[in-house]
Amino acid sequence: MWYSPSLQQLLYLETVLEEGSVVRAANRLHTTHSTISRGLKALTVGLGINLFDRTPHGLRLSDVGRIYGTQIRMSLDQAKLAFDLAHYETRLHQRPFHVGHSPYIHGAILPVLEQLTLPGSETPSIVLRSATTTRLVRRVRSGELHAAFGVLPIVDKALWIERVAYEPFCVCIPERHRLAAHSRLAARELLRETLVWIPRCAHPSLYDRVANYLRTLKFDPRHFLEAYSITQALDFAADGAGVALIPQSASRFQRRGVIFKPLMDDLIRVETALFVRRDQMRATVKDFIEIALSAVTALKLNSLEKR
């Protein structure tokens, strides 16, 4: 007879599989390791399958357990997607229409978004919310946001993604910096500097892409200084703590004591994208996509500025 495990048992198994130990799984789930151990023991007995091997260091997933756990994770992903979809459907027709944006999107786009209204609305019907791209993806999937403008790369099969703009980076340096007389800078010229940059948790894919490029130039990642916003990065540069790597359009920010220099390295750039849930292309969402893309296209941002 087929055994039907509880969702809690499957969540325990998934977390142990991801964390590699019962203790770390318990810490992540804010419970005790004995609670997880009891749940996993009941799962093992119910299935009649040896999911774990005992070692001097505690329980370890067996080869059979890893196979079972991998399949269960796919099932749990579907369950989570169903939960998100139900929330999204509940919020979809609620007004106002919520749109997220990352602080790192092209600077010319935000003023356009602030002026947009949906068809048939006499009052402003779009509310903007700012967050990192990673958080925006989660909020669009859950229905907290109807759409969002973030920074590529974004890898999520549940999302429809359209690149709308791209731009080079620039470097913010103190006015009296040794490189202040240069009209443009190459990344190699910054090897001796502490580089102020976003924390990896804000956008792992973008961080890794830029960091990997800088490593090819012999940058030492230990000299990266994390800034959680563009304005904080400018403050660090003004105080002489480092040089800030920011999108070129962010040079619109005014900060006494700093100057902005275009970065000549074309292999790294900031790409802005609009994304929505692929399975929720309803009338309201389609209307927003149409007016948003039309307004952004008119800005002609899909080419790198001449150096």
- Regarding whether 299 and 225 lie in a shared domain, the answer is yes
Token reading at 41: 């023991």
Q: What is the CATH number of the domain that holds 50?
A: 1.10.10.10
pLDDT at residue number 307: 41
The total domain count for the chain is: 2
- Regarding whether 262 and 241 lie in a shared domain, the answer is yes
DSSP category for residue 82 = H
Dump pLDDT digits (tens) for 35-58. Answer: 988 888 888 888 887 877 777 666
Q: Look at residue 179 and tell me if it is in a domain.
A: yes
**3-state SS string for 162-205:** EEEEEEEEEEEEECCCCCCCCCCECHHHHCCCCEEECCHHHCHH
- Regarding whether 170 and 66 lie in a shared domain, the answer is no
Q: Look at residue 209 and tell me if it is in a domain.
A: yes
Assess whether the previous peptide bond of 247 is cis (omega < 30° from 0): no
Region 209-219: mean pLDDT is: 92
DSSP category for residue 103 = T
Region 135-141: mean pLDDT is: 92
- Regarding whether 282 and 215 lie in a shared domain, the answer is yes
Dump pLDDT digits (tens) for 142-162. Answer: 888 999 999 999 999 889 999
Q: For residue 261, what pLDDT band results from cuts at 50, 70 and 90?
A: very high
- Which residue segment(s) compose the domain that 77 sits in? 7-81
Q: What is the CATH number of the domain that holds 219?
A: 3.40.190.290
pLDDT at residue number 305: 44
pLDDT at residue number 292: 94
- Regarding whether 42 and 137 lie in a shared domain, the answer is no
Judged by DSSP in three states, 57 sits in coil
Q: Look at residue 87 and tell me if it is in a domain.
A: no
Of 98, 99, 17, which is closest to residue 60 (Cα–Cα)?
17
Dihedral of the CA atoms 115, 118, 123, 126 (nearest 10)? -60
Q: Look at residue 50 and tell me if it is in a domain.
A: yes
Packing angle, helices 22-29 and 7-19, rounded to 10: 120
- Regarding whether 192 and 148 lie in a shared domain, the answer is yes
- Regarding whether 112 and 20 lie in a shared domain, the answer is no
Region 250-257: mean pLDDT is: 83
pLDDT at residue number 62: 79
- Yes or no: say if 125 and 243 are a contact pair by the CB < 8 Å rule: no
Q: Look at residue 86 and tell me if it is in a domain.
A: no
